[in-house]
Structure 1
Amino acid sequence: MLVAVCCAAAAMPLTFTGPAVALPAISRSLGGSPLALNWVINAFMLTFGSTLMAAGALADTYGRKRMFLGGLAAFGLFSFGLAFAGDIVWFDSLRALQGLGAAAAFSGGMASLAQEFEEGERLRAFSIVGASFGVGLAFGPIASGLVVEAFGWPAIFLLVVALAGFALVLGAIFLKETRDPNAGGLDWKGAATFTLALAFLTFGILQMPEAGWSDPFVLAMLSAAAAFFFIFYRIERSVARPMLDLSLFRYPRFVGVQLLAAAPAYAFVVLLILLPVRFIGIEGMSEIEGGWMMIALSAPLLVLPIAAGLLTRWFAPAAICGTGLLVSAAGLAWLGQFPVGADPMLLVAPLLTIGIGISLPWGLMDGLAVSVVPKERAGMATGIFSTTRVAGEGVALAVVTALLSAFAQMSLGSVAGVHAADIAQRLVTGNVAAAGSVVPSIERGVLLQAYGDAFGALLWLLTAITAATAVIVFLYLGKGADVVESAAEDPDLLPSTAMDP
């Protein structure tokens, strides 16, 4: 059972590290505007993140094994279709459908594991899953680079299909069917409003660099997102069996877990997308060279998540997680010292530092998420935590892409004038030739300098966010009373989440 879920976990990173490495090749093959190319990554992240809570609720209601197998089948099918997409619109649409399958597989698999292992074993089992995810992250870029250069970008999705197929066979044989006997089905109104809110928010943020921060359309998208988030909140307060149990947020440790879930988005995940574009599109490395550079960032996830699980025997999870985030913040600040065009070997040490730091909380996050709710509600817990993490990653990617474009636009303002925004958008997608064609008189060195200044400013911002999150995690996760203990003292506080001591 654990191997089946680990194989599925290893396939997930390939779905965003692979397209990130192949983005310049995809752009040359399928074309598309900068906004359409941004959706290559964000379409998957949006549907994956926005449906995880719904998938968790469905897994509790209709069976975790059924959800895992059905999600894997859909994930593999749409991954196969991506290899034959003929234009960027079809590609982005299939990416969105691929995210739906991934959400179902991930929620069903993680909830199944939560039923199989008890408290101490569960944390270590989830740390092994985190290490499996790290395998995909560590080898995904270089594997994708090798495949792209040898067979073309469509072949990267065949790797995903192979892993998903193997996990499907193992899951069908070894997973046990479990469900929550008290589950009340899916909160469809909550699921719909939450998905719409995330969709409007992501679309509005991605549209900002092209249309401007005060554009009426952008403001309308963001206003619609705020309205749907408010409607979602009202729905979850009124239904008997909510998709998101808002009462859990009364408890500091549960809040700390959700903040921890969002932390890797800014400290690590956005770099998985931005750095290949920088290495390959801006600095002119080959796909293989860019993939090798990414191993320095991701390799620590091969072993350190398991080590973090073992360290919980001697150290509190809050101390391990907070320390890891501070190490990552130091690595981000260090990386910001090297401009575009610096010797690639100088980047290896700061990339390793970031990877080492993020590996410590990475192996503990999923286990902590299910430790604060009853075992029977593991699907809900996995859904809430994973939604915070993946939706946070999608929103973070949209935000940092918009900020990188804005910083580059400011750097180019004095030389590009009214064309600065157009040039900046093309630079962010790694297409220096297209950026230079907007105003041919601007030298390539000026474009690279503007991109490098923007990337450095972004790294300083990510450093500050990661360090602040580390402090909050120390404070919130370090509190002695957690949700389970509070519920045991006063069961009326959590009517739908009572748990045995």
Structure 2
Amino acid sequence: MNSQNPPNATGRLAVLAAVCMAALALPLAFSGGAVATPAIGRDLGGDPVTVSWITNAFMLAFGSLLMAAGTLADRFGRKRLFACGVAGFTLSSLALGFATSIVIVDLLRAVQGVAAAAALAGGTAALAQEFDGPARTRAFSALGTTFGIGLAFGPVLAGWLIAQFGWRAIFTTGALAGLLTLGFGVPRMRESRDPHARRLDWAGTTTFTAALACFTFGLIEAPSRGWTSPAVVPLFAACVAFAIAFVVVETRTARPMLDLSLFRYPRFVGVQVLPIATCYCYIVLLVVLPLRFIGVDGYDEMHAGWLMLALSAPMLVVPFVAAALTRWMSAGAISGIGLMIAAAGLHALGGALRAGAGAGTTVIGPMLAIGFGAGLPWGLMDGLSVSVVPKSRAGMATGIFSTTRVAGEGIALAVVSALLAALAQISLRTSAPLAQPAAVAEAAARLATGDIAAAAERLPGVSHPTLQVAYHTAFGHLLDGLTIITLLCSLAAFAFLSRVRVQDEPFITEAPGGVEA
């Protein structure tokens, strides 16, 4: 239900422009924050856990609350929630510019993630109401490309801002984008609601967030404390308990936050595979590569940002190419081919880094291949996500998909960071067999964050070149694992989505009264 008459084409473009303007700030908060992490750590201090939460606090809050935000958007108004989210993001970004400790940065990043969830859920649900059919596909492709622009230029802009003004300027830039959206975009939007929207599923939201938080915190703590530590095992046990409670709650709720019955449809499952795939072949690299380039290979933030452009620049063009290819090929085939290209790029990147023992011009080709391959499903999955439920349940559709994407990103980052620390620990045990296990574990955790100087302090008998070799070995094995994951996701895309086109009608119909049939 819309509170105003349907807008003309100019009005729809204004809505698209407002959402895209806000969407520029979200990837900058992610990729820019990753580039800024070493600078923040040097300025404010902190152990590996608190430094890791600079990114993970944002992603955890963002991912765990998207489904709840989708419900609130349908119930209280998409424009209202979008405006509240943008305002909260702007204020928290401004506050980050004045943070005086690493703990305050982590807390404000969590607040920023909550606001980002509201902005994205409200904005994408509003777009789904304004556009239909091929126009909707083009609108969501434009949104995906906008995210790509933010990801493409985020590292370069962050590197330049850090070099010129310091890391605080990154968050000030995000606040500026928010202010522009509030001043010029939001007033041109119209309000819309779902007359049959359900109430917020507090039990589902709480159990889901708790499960995700326990799992993430356990993965962050495990490398330094040990996987069987008394502080880590209870976290994973609590994660399992909360996850079971979430499933029980959702199966017994009349209109749940997450309709688990949708997972009976292979096509729905296939759509969720795509953001998971891009998490492991693309998103995690936006974090771990700058940490490597700056902390281990010795590049400054500006040069690291330029190197990262090879990975992210294809996102400026490839999503549009993917949308054009749907005239002749299915979305599943395009996505599967893209993921195979990304897997080949990951394999080639591992070879280039092993051959040169560090970053250089040889990594540009493989990084371009990864960016191109990941860009093909990136340009299609937003449009596919809104085709799997009725239009009136757009908040739920975008909430489920966006949660899979963002929560998957947070989980993937935690998994990859923990795996890199574990692999580095194995390498260090070989290099320093007489060192205390606790010191090796702490050094490996520091090394995984790119802090080679702190790792050397924990192992004074190990030289810097030896630490670099241990890191390079661990990083190579990590890329091998990411290659395998990406290939498996490619096969899943072919299996579940090979006959699906983004223009297809939804496979779920809706009976009168807003109940899925």
Which of these residues, 467, 471, 476, is aligned with residue 456 of structure 1? 476
1:185 Cα offset (Å): 1.8
Give the distance between the partners of 2:493 and 2:478, measured in 1 at CA.
23
Give the residue type in structure 2 aligned to 1:247. Answer: S
The verdict on how the C-alpha distance between 1:486 and 1:114 changes in structure 2, with shifts beyond 3 A counting, is closer
1:342 Cα offset (Å): 3.7
1:283 Cα offset (Å): 0.7
Counterpart in the other structure of 2:369? 353
Give the distance between the partners of 1:251 and 1:481, measured in 2 at CA.
16
Report the 3-state secondary structure (helix = DSSP H, G, I; strand = E; otherwise coil) of the residue aligned with 1:371: coil
Aligned: 1:24 with 2:44: no
- What does residue range 224-373 of structure 1 map to in structure 2 within 5 Å? 224-337=238-351, 338-339=353-354, 341-342=357-358, 344-373=360-389
Counterpart in the other structure of 2:442? 422
Counterpart in the other structure of 2:9? none
Counterpart in the other structure of 2:467? 447
The answer on whether the counterparts of 2:54 and 2:106 sit within 8 Å (CA) in structure 1 is yes
Counterpart in the other structure of 1:434? 454
1:266 Cα offset (Å): 0.3
- What does residue range 9-48 of structure 1 map to in structure 2 within 5 Å? 9-48=23-62
Which of these residues, 219, 225, 235, is aligned with residue 205 of structure 1? 219
Report the 3-state secondary structure (helix = DSSP H, G, I; strand = E; otherwise coil) of the residue aligned with 1:179: coil
Report the 3-state secondary structure (helix = DSSP H, G, I; strand = E; otherwise coil) of the residue aligned with 1:176: coil
Residue by residue over 1:324-362, the C-alpha shift from the partner in whole angstroms, topping out at 9 and shown as x without a partner, is 111100000000012364461100000000000000110
Give the residue type in structure 1 aligned to 2:394. Answer: A
The answer on whether the counterparts of 1:411 and 1:454 sit within 8 Å (CA) in structure 2 is yes
User: How many pairs does the alignment contain?
Assistant: 496
Residue by residue over 1:401-449, the C-alpha shift from the partner in whole angstroms, topping out at 9 and shown as x without a partner, is 0000000000010333322211111111111111111122211100000
Counterpart in the other structure of 2:90? 76
Give the distance between the partners of 2:514 and 2:237, measured in 1 at CA.
34
1:481 Cα offset (Å): 11
- What does residue range 336-415 of structure 1 map to in structure 2 within 5 Å? 336-337=350-351, 338-339=353-354, 341-342=357-358, 344-415=360-431
Give the residue type in structure 1 aligned to 2:378. Answer: W
Report the 3-state secondary structure (helix = DSSP H, G, I; strand = E; otherwise coil) of the residue aligned with 1:243: coil
Residue by residue over 1:355-382, the C-alpha shift from the partner in whole angstroms, topping out at 9 and shown as x without a partner, is 0000011011111000110000011000
Give the distance between the partners of 1:327 and 1:420, measured in 2 at CA.
37
- What does residue range 87-126 of structure 1 map to in structure 2 within 5 Å? 87-126=101-140
1:484 Cα offset (Å): 6.2
Counterpart in the other structure of 2:491? 471
Counterpart in the other structure of 2:6? none
Report the 3-state secondary structure (helix = DSSP H, G, I; strand = E; otherwise coil) of the residue aligned with 2:46: coil
Give the residue type in structure 2 aligned to 1:188. Answer: W
The verdict on how the C-alpha distance between 1:203 and 1:186 changes in structure 2, with shifts beyond 3 A counting, is same
Q: Which sits farther off after the overlay, 58-67 or 159-168?
A: 159-168
The answer on whether the counterparts of 2:331 and 2:499 sit within 8 Å (CA) in structure 1 is no
Aligned: 1:130 with 2:144: yes
Report the 3-state secondary structure (helix = DSSP H, G, I; strand = E; otherwise coil) of the residue aligned with 2:515: coil
The answer on whether the counterparts of 1:270 and 1:397 sit within 8 Å (CA) in structure 2 is yes
Counterpart in the other structure of 2:12? none
- What does residue range 113-192 of structure 1 map to in structure 2 within 5 Å? 113-192=127-206
The answer on whether the counterparts of 1:253 and 1:481 sit within 8 Å (CA) in structure 2 is no
Give the distance between the partners of 1:164 and 1:333, measured in 2 at CA.
38
Give the distance between the partners of 1:481 and 1:276, measured in 2 at CA.
36
User: What is the RMSD of the two structures over their aligned residues, measured on CA atoms?
Assistant: 1.7
Give the gaps of 5 or more residues in structure 2. Answer: 1-14
1:181 Cα offset (Å): 0.5
Give the distance between the partners of 1:450 and 1:219, measured in 2 at CA.
27
Report the 3-state secondary structure (helix = DSSP H, G, I; strand = E; otherwise coil) of the residue aligned with 2:231: helix
Give the distance between the partners of 2:500 and 2:287, measured in 1 at CA.
37
Report the 3-state secondary structure (helix = DSSP H, G, I; strand = E; otherwise coil) of the residue aligned with 1:336: helix
Q: Which sits farther off after the overlay, 335-344 or 478-487?
A: 478-487
Give the distance between the partners of 2:415 and 2:215, measured in 1 at CA.
10
Report the 3-state secondary structure (helix = DSSP H, G, I; strand = E; otherwise coil) of the residue aligned with 1:55: helix
Give the distance between the partners of 1:274 and 1:110, measured in 2 at CA.
29
Give the residue type in structure 2 aligned to 1:368. Answer: L
The answer on whether the counterparts of 1:127 and 1:308 sit within 8 Å (CA) in structure 2 is no
Counterpart in the other structure of 2:81? 67
The answer on whether the counterparts of 2:215 and 2:235 sit within 8 Å (CA) in structure 1 is yes
The verdict on how the C-alpha distance between 1:282 and 1:472 changes in structure 2, with shifts beyond 3 A counting, is same
Residue by residue over 1:426-479, the C-alpha shift from the partner in whole angstroms, topping out at 9 and shown as x without a partner, is 111111111111122211100000000000000000000000001011111125
Give the distance between the partners of 1:246 and 1:195, measured in 2 at CA.
17
Give the distance between the partners of 1:161 and 1:125, measured in 2 at CA.
24
Report the 3-state secondary structure (helix = DSSP H, G, I; strand = E; otherwise coil) of the residue aligned with 2:232: helix
TM-score (normalizing by structure 1): 0.96
Give the distance between the partners of 2:507 and 2:175, measured in 1 at CA.
44
1:485 Cα offset (Å): 5.7
Counterpart in the other structure of 2:516? 497
The verdict on how the C-alpha distance between 1:314 and 1:484 changes in structure 2, with shifts beyond 3 A counting, is closer
Give the gaps of 5 or more residues in structure 1. Answer: none
